[in-house]
A and B are shown apart, each in its own frame.
Chain A
Amino acid sequence: MINGADTAWMLTATVLVLFMTLPGLALFYAGLVRAKNVLSVLMHCVAVACLVSVLWYAGAYSLSFVGSNPWIGDLSQAFLIGVGRNAVHPTTTIPDSVYIMYQMTFAIITPGLIIGAYVERIKFSAVLLFSGLWLFVVYAPVAHWVWGGGWLAAMGVKDFAGGIVVHTTAGISALIVAIALGKRDGFPQHLQPPHAPWIVMVGAAMLWVGWFGFNAGSALTAGADAGMAMLVTHMAAAIASLTWMGIEWARFGKPSLVGTVTGTVAGLATITPASGFVGPLGAVVIGIASAAICYCAVQLVKLRFRVDDALDVFAVHGVGGMTGTLLTAPLMAAELGGVGYGNGVTMASQFGVQFTGVAVALVWSAIGSIILVKVTQSLVGLRVRQDVETQGLDLTTHGETGYNLAFGGTAQ
């Protein structure tokens, strides 16, 4: 039966999660790129959001959440056929329409996250093709396995809001695309720094607020689980921000804004899978661990492996999501303020299950993305020409420029 309070909260949570992408993630990324590519990044986020919405309607939702096959959903609700106005989503107290819309916002932000890896040098057609295929090949199966009653759910994998489904899949795929595309001209020695750190902060703050819909909304009810999820989400974000700030302060002598808000996002990504299962103490541990581990991962990917994952999608989201999923096993213990384990489940056995979930998602996302990169490459090509990259994607691809301050043209 539909519950008004639950439905009201889930409508709100849906708005918050869409707000994470539009404009939160878009601004977070836009501030980090050079001024000549600011519009192209915003455009990627808008276009991916719209495209995924249509594909979700067309069949991705049905493949993710409908049917009882453990491997993949069916197409019985493709084009949302048979979704009645008054239908209640199974095992919940909210309308099917709200559940479909809520999950759609997750499907939007996941390929949205990958954008950070390929900015400033990818063809726009490749963005559309890769993102659309990726939704069906990587996102829909993994979402089904973990959240749609698939085999990982049956095994007992705990992923409250998307440490595996969202952040691991997006992070690994980001790394694959970044390697396939190659480095931006000048990486890593001769790049210009982020063109507008203040926009990065604005975007991160929107992500922070929107994340309450992401994590507390994943309770699917307006109750105690949502309340605790919101509390631990906020604590993890605050502590991770301070931790990252402290690391940079100690290492470089200055606490930077970009670093601090990167810590925020690392903390949020890492608490995501654990947010429904841990208590405040777990949030403190995750807050500190997320910033420390993701900070090291950024240095490792950029400086050691020399992979131009331009905006650190893998190091912040991928590594954060995997870390949080694994840490869920020990931190959900009742003694540590968590929800405790099910019958016959121990900390060690839960850890084994969590590890399996992460490993499966990692391998599936990597293989799927490698194939999709090849397909995209052969159909439309991946990378823009060198002169296009030098001039910037805003003008060359979209015919617009981000900043027209003093010397604007005249209307024809």
Chain B
Amino acid sequence: MKFIIAIIQPHRIDAVREALNQAGISGLTVSEVRGYGRQRGHKEVYRGAEYSINYVPKLKLEIAVDDDKAEEISEVIMRSARTGKIGDGKIFVFDLQSATRIRTGEIGSQAL
């Protein structure tokens, strides 16, 4: 199994969710996070004073998938989240050691 973490632009979430549903994932966890990459934040102006916003709002997606689906799911996220502008985010894929469904006690792929 693989564990995919994707950091995306908040306004792309609907498109990404739709694409992931079509690709047949069984679950998704989303959290609001802040961070920066090469864009190094942005500027906001209040009453004429410039403020540097060092950490930009993003969404973090966490998805557990079977090994053979990992590449396809990464691809789906990349295509649906992309706007072509700086700040589109990143996708990270990890090996997933185990998974357990809490309600039934099922283990491994069965739990996904």
Residues of A within 8 A of B (CB): 188, 190-194, 197, 248, 251-252, 254, 256, 258-259, 262, 295, 298-299, 302-303, 312
A193 and B53 form a contact (CB under 8 A): yes
A303 and B49 form a contact (CB under 8 A): yes
Q: Total contacts A to B, CB within 8 angstroms?
A: 34
Q: Is B92 interfacial (CB 8 A cutoff)? A: no
B48 and A193 form a contact (CB under 8 A): no
Q: Which 5 A-B pairs have the closest CB atoms?
A: A193-B51, A252-B45, A258-B46, A299-B48, A193-B44
Alpha-carbon separation in the docked complex, A303 to B46 (Å): 13
B47 and A193 form a contact (CB under 8 A): no
For residue A197, which residues in chain B have a CB less than 8 angstroms away from its CB?
Answer: 46
A262 and B45 form a contact (CB under 8 A): no
- Nearest chain-A residue to B44 (Cβ)? A193
- Nearest chain-B residue to A192 (Cβ)? B51
For residue A303, which residues in chain B have a CB less than 8 angstroms away from its CB?
Answer: 48-49
For residue A256, which residues in chain B have a CB less than 8 angstroms away from its CB?
Answer: 45-46
Alpha-carbon separation in the docked complex, A256 to B47 (Å): 8
- Nearest chain-B residue to A295 (Cβ)? B48
Alpha-carbon separation in the docked complex, A192 to B54 (Å): 10
B47 and A258 form a contact (CB under 8 A): yes
- A302 CB contact (under 8 Å) in B45, B49, B52, B53: B49
Contacts A252-B45, A295-B48, A303-B48 known; list 14 others, CB within 8 Å: A188-B49, A191-B51, A197-B46, A248-B48, A252-B48, A254-B45, A256-B45, A258-B47, A259-B48, A262-B47, A298-B47, A298-B48, A302-B48, A302-B49
Interface centre among B47, B48, B52 (most CB of A within 10 A): B47
For residue B45, which residues in chain A have a CB less than 8 angstroms away from its CB?
Answer: 248, 252, 254, 256
For residue B46, which residues in chain A have a CB less than 8 angstroms away from its CB?
Answer: 193-194, 197, 256, 258-259
Task: Kindly provide the distance from the CB of A40 to the nearest chain B CB, expressed in whole angstroms.
Answer: 20
Dominant secondary structure at the A interface: helix
For residue B49, which residues in chain A have a CB less than 8 angstroms away from its CB?
Answer: 188, 302-303
Listed A/B pairs (24) with beta-carbon separation below 8 Å: A188-B49, A190-B52, A192-B51, A193-B44, A193-B51, A193-B53, A248-B45, A251-B48, A252-B48, A254-B45, A256-B45, A256-B46, A258-B46, A258-B47, A259-B46, A259-B48, A262-B47, A295-B48, A298-B47, A299-B48, A302-B49, A303-B48, A303-B49, A312-B47
Task: Kindly provide the distance from the CB of B94 to the nearest chain A CB, expressed in whole angstroms.
Answer: 25
Alpha-carbon separation in the docked complex, A258 to B44 (Å): 11
Task: Kindly provide the distance from the CB of B34 to the nearest chain A CB, expressed in whole angstroms.
Answer: 12
For residue A192, which residues in chain B have a CB less than 8 angstroms away from its CB?
Answer: 51
Alpha-carbon separation in the docked complex, A270 to B106 (Å): 70
For residue B53, which residues in chain A have a CB less than 8 angstroms away from its CB?
Answer: 193
- Nearest chain-B residue to A190 (Cβ)? B52
Alpha-carbon separation in the docked complex, A132 to B84 (Å): 59
Alpha-carbon separation in the docked complex, A258 to B47 (Å): 7
Query: In the complex, which residues 3-59 of chain B have their Cβ closer than 8 Å to any Cβ of chain A?
Result: 44-49, 51-53
Task: Kindly provide the distance from the CB of A313 to the nearest chain B CB, expressed in whole angstroms.
Answer: 12
Interface centre among A193, A295, A302, A312 (most CB of B within 10 A): A193
Alpha-carbon separation in the docked complex, A256 to B44 (Å): 10
Alpha-carbon separation in the docked complex, A161 to B9 (Å): 50
Alpha-carbon separation in the docked complex, A254 to B48 (Å): 11
Alpha-carbon separation in the docked complex, A193 to B54 (Å): 11
Alpha-carbon separation in the docked complex, A191 to B47 (Å): 14
Task: Kindly provide the distance from the CB of A10 to the nearest chain B CB, expressed in whole angstroms.
Answer: 35
- Nearest chain-B residue to A188 (Cβ)? B49
For residue A299, which residues in chain B have a CB less than 8 angstroms away from its CB?
Answer: 48
Alpha-carbon separation in the docked complex, A303 to B53 (Å): 19
Alpha-carbon separation in the docked complex, A259 to B48 (Å): 8
Task: Kindly provide the distance from the CB of A229 to the nearest chain B CB, expressed in whole angstroms.
Answer: 28
Alpha-carbon separation in the docked complex, A190 to B48 (Å): 15
Task: Kindly provide the distance from the CB of A240 to the nearest chain B CB, expressed in whole angstroms.
Answer: 14
Alpha-carbon separation in the docked complex, A134 to B49 (Å): 31
Query: In the complex, which residues 49-85 of chain B have their Cβ closer than 8 Å to any Cβ of chain A?
Result: 49, 51-53
Alpha-carbon separation in the docked complex, A38 to B112 (Å): 43
For residue A258, which residues in chain B have a CB less than 8 angstroms away from its CB?
Answer: 46-47
Alpha-carbon separation in the docked complex, A252 to B48 (Å): 8
